[in-house]
Every structure is written in C-alpha cells, then in structure tokens.
Amino acid sequence: MSRPAVFFDRDGTLSREVGYVNHITRFEPFPFAVDAIRAVNAGNRLVVIVTNQAGVARGYFPESLIADVNGVLKSRAESSGAKIDGIYYCPHHPSAGVPPYRQDCDCRKPRPGMLHRAAQDLGIDLSRSWVVGDRLGDLELAWNVGARACLVKTGYGMGEIQYWMADWKRQPDLIAENALDAALQIIESH
C-alpha cells in the first residue's frame, strides 16, 4: 500500500538560503531541520527532499557537490536517529549552459518529475502528500501532482508572503513558521 510523504525543499527550508551552495562550507542546515525530519518519521510518513540545483547547468559547481551537500544533511539526520527516505535533485536549466544540463527537463520544479520518480521508487500516495517549501514554485509543484502545499516563512518565504502572495491564483494550504512547525502541523491535523 502506498504511503503519504512530506517532500521538503532544501535551500531556504531545511537550510539557510545563501544563494548558490557552490561549496560545502556554504551549506548551513537549520538547527530544527533534523527535528522536522524526525517528526515526519514519527508521523509514519516518508521524508523526501526535492531540490532544484541549476547551478550545475550554469557552471557554478559540479554535480558531485550536490551529493556531498546532501550527505551532510543525511549524516546529521542519521546521527540523531532521523531518516531521510529519498533525495532528488534537478541539475538542469532550460536555457543556461550546455547539454545535457541545458535541457527543458521534466524535473525542474514546479514540474513534477522528481515527485513522480519518488512516488514510483518509494511507493508514495501523492494525493495524501505535502510539499513544504519557501517559494511559489514549491507550492505549484505540490498542486501539479494533487498534493497539498505548505509555505514556510524561512528563506524566501517572508518575501513571498509580504509582496507576492496576494496575487497568487491559489493560496497555500498551510503557512508555517519553519519546516519543524510545518511538520508538526501536517502530522497533527492532516
């Protein structure tokens, strides 16, 4: 039987938004990131991270750095008894760089490729799942697969709320202070 998941955006949601993370020293996980992951584990939902990393296509950093950075998050989680069930990234950009990274792919958020792959790999029921992120593209990703969308106030979130949200065609299903608040609310009441 397929299970619901909580898909977390990475930069701005589980870690500080610093622009392109072009070196491992620029990656700063939020102190609550591991607690957010653990809360979702305890709520019997899968934890999946989905991140656009167009800096690869743009030539700002090698694709191998993504795995290194994600490894930091993974080992932090594991050393605290939290489990990340899957991590997916899109290294592409539709117009920057050279092929194969320059391509009009199906996985760059808000396109749903990463969620479809995760659903297939891990047996996820997308209709009962959530995407938690700090930008409109994360919310649209959720809506594109029939999942629900939570906007967090970290990263770009406050700017989205203050300057742009009133103009959005659809409003977030939930607004949370941060990823941990999001996880707790999703687990408790949805």
* Shortest Å, Cβ 9 to Mg ion: 4
> Is 107 one of the binding residues for Zn ion (CB under 5 A)?
yes
Q: Would you state the structure tokens that stand for residue 87, as one six-digit string?
A: 């991590």
Q: Binding mask 89-128 vs Mg ion (x if CB under 5 A, - otherwise)? A: ----------------------------------------
Give yes or no: 138 in active site.
Answer: no
Query: Which is nearest to 128 in space by CA: 44, 7, 5, 37?
Result: 5
- The residue within the footprint of Zn ion, chosen from 105, 122, 165, 187 (CB under 5 A), is 105
Whole-angstrom distance, CA of residue 115 vs CA of residue 93: 18
Q: Would you state the structure tokens that stand for residue 99, as one six-digit string?
A: 């092929």
* Shortest Å, Cβ 44 to Mg ion: 26
> Is 12 one of the binding residues for Mg ion (CB under 5 A)?
yes
* Shortest Å, Cβ 92 to Mg ion: 17
Residue 11 interacting partner from Zn ion, Mg ion, none (CB closer than 5 to 8 Å by kind): Mg ion
| Cα–Cα distances in angstroms (integers) from residue 171 to residues 44, 115, 163, 166, in the given order | 27, 21, 14, 8
Give yes or no: 68 in active site.
Answer: no
User: Residues 88, 103: contact at Cβ < 8 Å?
Assistant: no
> Is 160 one of the binding residues for Mg ion (CB under 5 A)?
no
Q: Binding mask 130-159 vs Mg ion (x if CB under 5 A, - otherwise)? A: ----x--------------------x----
Residue 9 interacting partner from Mg ion, Zn ion, none (CB closer than 5 to 8 Å by kind): Mg ion
Is 72 or 105 the residue whose CB approaches Zn ion more closely? 105
Query: DSSP E strands: which ranges in the chain?
Result: 5-8, 46-52, 86-90, 130-133, 148-152, 174-176
Helices (H), 54-135: 63-79, 113-122
Residue 92 interacting partner from Zn ion, Mg ion, none (CB closer than 5 to 8 Å by kind): Zn ion
Contacts of residue 84, defined as CB under 8 A and 6 or more positions apart, other chains included, come to 37, 47, 48, 49, 73, 74, 77
By CB under 5 A, name the binding residues for Mg ion.
Answer: 9, 11-12, 134, 155
By CB under 5 A, name the binding residues for Zn ion.
Answer: 90, 92, 105, 107-108
Catalytic residues: 9, 11
